Structure 1
Amino acid sequence: MGEKTTTLTAPGISLAGAVVGSGPNAAVFLHQSDQSYCGFWPYVSALPAGSLHGYLFGLCGFGDSTCSTEATVDRRAQIALLVSSARKAGAKRVTLVGASMGGALAAGYAKAVGADAVVDLSGPPAWFEAPTSAAAAPTLTMPLLVVLGAPDSSQRERLEAMVAAAPTQHKAFRWVPDGGHGWDQLTTGTGEVSEVGREVLEMVQGSGPRP
């Protein structure tokens, strides 16, 4: 799948990454804390050609992304820059797809940045500067998919509660007992798109979550 490496900038913010594909339905991928956006590449590269308009960028302090001291901790501004860039490129629908740390950021800031849908893969219910799952719940008025596997079973009660409290009618909590953590749930052990990965793509394309 072809990609274009680029840098997106705003006052105090310089995010390095890549844009994949084009089209009216875009995904902004928010990465885990153990590495930058490269962890999403196994999934993105396994998708059919032309199926995704994706934004894969490191947040401040990750990869080659650099920001001023104040901007580094302003995750909302960084995510807003990615969402606005997708819209300027023609996206009519923008889905935040976050893994682990990125999942907490996606759920916490979705409303503030104007996202049209949210996918949270193993996002902890509390993550430093991000709003907690309880605080985020009433703001989740858009389609919502939360996926959690056995490695994060201790978080299940609070994330299920977030989904239950979210005012959107289009929501689903997926408990995957044999699933991994974060972006590992998007592909199988042989590098193919998993069932979770297929549903995430459906969310991005505007047809999810499944009942």
Structure 2
Amino acid sequence: MNFVQWLNSLDELLYELMSWLVFFPVTLCRILRHPLATMRYAEDQLLLEPEKQYRSTVSPPIMLILTIVLVQGIGLAVDGTSPIVASHRGLAGLVNDNTTLLLLRLVLFGTFALVLATRKVNRSSVDLDRDTLKPAFYAQCYAISPFTLLISGGLSALLHHHDLVQVAGLLSMVTACLFYGIVQIRWFSAELNQPVIRSFLDATIGMVVSIAITITLGLLFA
């Protein structure tokens, strides 16, 4: 690669990175205002040519990554070093910097997207493979992003010494769970064309399994 080609690639990279400052809040607003439509958009975009996908939003996996980066950045600014990074007991010794902490959080929240996407495919009439799982996983990456933001912010607020901040944190977590749960019920109902009761059961099973896996992994690193 010559110098001119390197500059051109750097130019594209810089534009892509800076464009996230615009399209991240745009995508987040779309998810909050029209969650099901945005999840369908995530699936439909995969049918287009790669260079034409997600032209007006941040792609779903990048959206989840950026949300976790934002959450971790706010946490560092407010609380300083994470207790997991500071701890060297057990598996927490593997999380020795902010990069590995970021990867851990990505795995924890990505588990929700993976479990619920897998649940949806298994409940449908198609076989589970990499091609059938991807659209559902991408849709779930959009759904989990505001949940990640509200849950992480709520947990940080609960650890604060001020009572009002703790109450705000609790409200944030309750809002996150209600929003996420309702979105999942509606998503299963629309995607599988089934009654709300059946969709409530599917969403509940998926969320309980996700929470169980997350808590288990969290305890290992506590």
Q: What TM-score comes out, normalization by structure 1 length?
A: 0.25
Structure with the bigger percentage of strand: 1
Structure with the bigger percentage of helix: 2
Which structure has more relative contact order (CA 8 Å, sep 6+)? It is: 2
